[in-house]
Chains A and B, each alone.
Chain A
Amino acid sequence: MFEIFGIPSTALFGQLLIGLINGSFYALLSLGLAVIFGMLNIINFSHGAQYMMGAFTAYLILQYTGLGYWPALIIAPIIVGITGIIIERLFLRWLYKLDHLYGLLLTFGLALIFEGVARNYFGSAGLPYTVPESLQGGRNLGFMFLPNYRAWVIAASLCVCVATWFVIERTRLGAYLRAATENPTLVRAFGINVPRMITLTYGFGVALAAFAGVMAAPIYNVSPQMGSELIIVVFAVVVIGGMGSILGAIITGFGLGVIEGLTKVFFPEASNTVIFVIMAIVLLVRPAGLFGRRA
C-alpha cells in the first residue's frame, strides 16, 4: 500500500472505481436523453423513473418467475421499452408541434405517476438485489481490490455506449435517424416511415435507461426514488456536455463520474454538489456546453 497526496491508494482507487460506475450510469442515461431529444425534441423527464422501472422489473422477474440477473438484463429493458412505445403512441405524439416545455411537463407528470405507484407498492425503503453468482467475488490488482461485478458494469456500459454511437454515426439506419432529426419532412418524402422511427427511438432510449437500471440494481438498492435523484444530476451532465454529440455525452458522463469520485476523496463535503458547480463554471466559460453547437 502506498500513498498519493497523503491519501491511501486503496481509498483513492476505490473512489475512482465508484466514480467510473456512477459515470457509466450518467453516460447511459445522458446518451438516452440525447437520442430521444434528437428525434422527438422532448426532454424525457421520466428517464429517471424508467431507469427505476428497469430495476423494479428485474426485481419482480426474480420474485415471480425466478429468472435471475442475466435473463432480466435482456427482458426488463424490452418490457420497459414496450411501455415507452405505448407512452409515445398514447401521449407524446400529440406534443411534437407544441413548445418543448409541454413535453418536459408531461414526462414530469409521468415520472410522478411511476414513482408514486412504486412507493405505494414497495414503500420508500430500498429492496436488495443480489449480484449474479458468476460475477461474485473479485480480484486483487495489487494496488486495489476490483469486484468482478463492478468491472462488468463499466465494461458493459462502455460497450453499449460505443455500440449506440456506432449505429447512429456509422450505419445506414443511423444515417436515416440523423437525417430525420435534421429534416423529417424531406426524409418522409423519400418514403421512410418517420413516425415509426420516432416511436422506436423513444422505445430504444427508454430501454437504455431500463438497462442501466437493471445493472444498478445489485449496486444500489432497488428503491422508488433512485431515479429522481439521478435524473437531476444527469440533466446537469447534459447541460455540461451539450446534446448535439453522442460521443460528447459518453465522454462527459464518464469524466464527470470520475471527477465526482475524486472529490469524494479530497473534499467529501462537496461530492454532492461538484457536478453542479462544474455546470455553473462551464456556463460561464462555454455557454454552449463542451461539445454543444451554438443554437
Chain B
Amino acid sequence: MERVVDPLARKPSALRAQSETIGFLIMVTALVIAPFVTYPLFLMQAMCFALFACAFNLLIGYVGLLSFGHALYFGWASYLSAHAAKVWGLSPELAILTGTATAAVCGLVAGSLAIRRQGIYFAMITLALAQMMYFFALQAKFTGGEDGIQAVPRGHLFGLIDLRNDMAMYAVVLIIFLASFGFIHRIIHSPFGEVLKAIRENESRAISLGYKTDRYKLVAFVLSATLAGVAGATKAIVLQLASLTDVNWPMSGEVVLMTLVGGLGTIFGPVVGAFVILVMQFKLAPIGEWVLVIQGAIFVACVLLFRRGIIGELANKLRIRL
C-alpha cells in the first residue's frame, strides 16, 4: 500500500475534522434526490455494487489483504437469495438474510484457508477458491447453469410493502446501503479497526504487541464477505436475476477496479468508483468488447499514475480525510 501522510495531523480545523460527516450528508442528499432525476433501477444496481466495493475495500484498504475472489460471496449470496425468494417463497427480507448467511459461511471457510498464506499468495488462493465455487455453480442443479435463476419475485417486504413498485424498492435498497455503509464506517473507526490498520502497516509488530493477527484477519475477512453477500443478495432481488456473471472471475476483477478507481482505503472512494465504472459500462455498452480493453487501460493508468484514486487524490489536495 502507498502510505499517505495523515492530512489531519498537519492542519486541524473544525471544518476539516468534519469532512467525513459532510461527505456523508452530500452522499445521502444525492441518493435521495437521484431517483427523481435518473433511472431508479440503475441507481439501485449501482448502490449494490457500491456496497460490494465498500465491503471489498474493508479488506484491501484497511487490512491490506487483496482478495481476488470476492465474486464468490457476491454471486453465491445472489444465488441463494434468488432461490429462497423464488423456490422457497420466502419474503424478500428473509431471502436477503439467507443469501447473506451463505456468504458469511463461505467467507469463514475460504478466509480460514486463505489467511494461511501472505501477500501475493493470498490473492491467488482467494481467486482459485472463487473459481472452484464458480464451477460448482456451473454444475449445481438449482443455479440453472447458463440460464441462471430468472424472474425472481420481489415480493412484499415484511408481508406489507409491495416491492414491485420501484420507489418502494429504492427506499429499501437505500436503507440497506446506508446501514451497511454506516456499519463499515463504525468498524473502521472502532478499536478493532485500529488493530486492523496496525496489521496493514506492520504485521510482525502487531504480533509482537500480543495481538492474534490471524484472528483479526479472519474476522475482517468474514465481515467483508458477509457485506459483499448483503450486496449480492439485494442485487438478486432488485434485478430479479442471479446468474453465472455474478460468480465468475471478471466480477472479482470489476470490484477491484471500482475500488482502485475510487481510491483504496478511503471511505467514499469505492462508492464513487462503483458509480463511475457502472456509468462507463452503461454508456459504452454499444461498443461491445472494447469495454474490456478500456477497463484494462484504466487498471494500467490507475496503477501507474493515480494510485490514490479519485477520492484519494481529492482528499490529498484538500488535505482532508474522506
**Which residues of A are in contact with B by a Cβ distance under 8 Å?**
37, 43, 91, 94-95, 98-102, 104-106, 108-117, 119-120, 228, 232-233, 235-236, 238-239, 269, 272-273, 276-277, 279-280, 283-284, 287-288, 295
Contacts and interface: CB of A to CB of B under 8 A. Distances in A.
Given A239-B121, A283-B117, A119 B289 contact: yes
B128 interface: yes
A283 B256 contact: no
B120 interface: yes
A113 B300 contact: yes
B25 interface: no
B151 interface: no
Contact of B128 (A113, A117, A235): A235
Contacts of B295: 109, 112, 116
Contact of A239 (B117, B249, B253, B260): B117
A98 B123 contact: no
A43 to B, nearest CB: 5
A283 B113 contact: yes
B245 interface: no
Closest 5 pairs (CB-CB, A-B): A109-B299, A112-B296, A116-B292, A276-B132, A113-B296
Given A109-B296, A109-B299, A235-B124, A273 B66 contact: no
A273 B132 contact: yes
A124 B203 CA distance: 44
B300 A99 contact: no
Contact of B293 (A108, A113, A280, A295): A113
A109 B136 contact: no
11 contacts: A43-B123, A105-B256, A116-B293, A116-B295, A236-B131, A238-B124, A272-B135, A276-B129, A279-B125, A283-B125, A284-B113
B127 interface: yes
Interface string B123-150: 1110111011001101100000000000
B111 to A, nearest CB: 12
Given A104-B66, A104-B123, A236-B124, A280 B296 contact: no
B247 to A, nearest CB: 13
A116 B296 contact: yes
User: B interface, how many residues as a size bin?
Assistant: 35 or more
A40 B298 CA distance: 23
Interface string B277-308: 00000000000111111111111101110010
A102 B120 CA distance: 10
A5 B223 CA distance: 46
Nearest to B110: A280
A284 B116 CA distance: 8
A110 B292 CA distance: 10
B2 interface: yes
Contact of B132 (A43, A110, A277, A284): A277
A139 to B, nearest CB: 35
Contact of B289 (A91, A110, A116, A228): A116
B18 interface: no
A276 B249 CA distance: 15
Given A239-B121, A279-B128, 17 more contacts: A91-B300, A99-B2, A100-B120, A101-B120, A106-B303, A109-B296, A109-B303, A112-B295, A112-B296, A113-B293, A114-B296, A232-B127, A233-B128, A236-B131, A239-B125, A276-B131, A283-B125
A101 B56 CA distance: 15
Nearest to B128: A236
B304 to A, nearest CB: 6
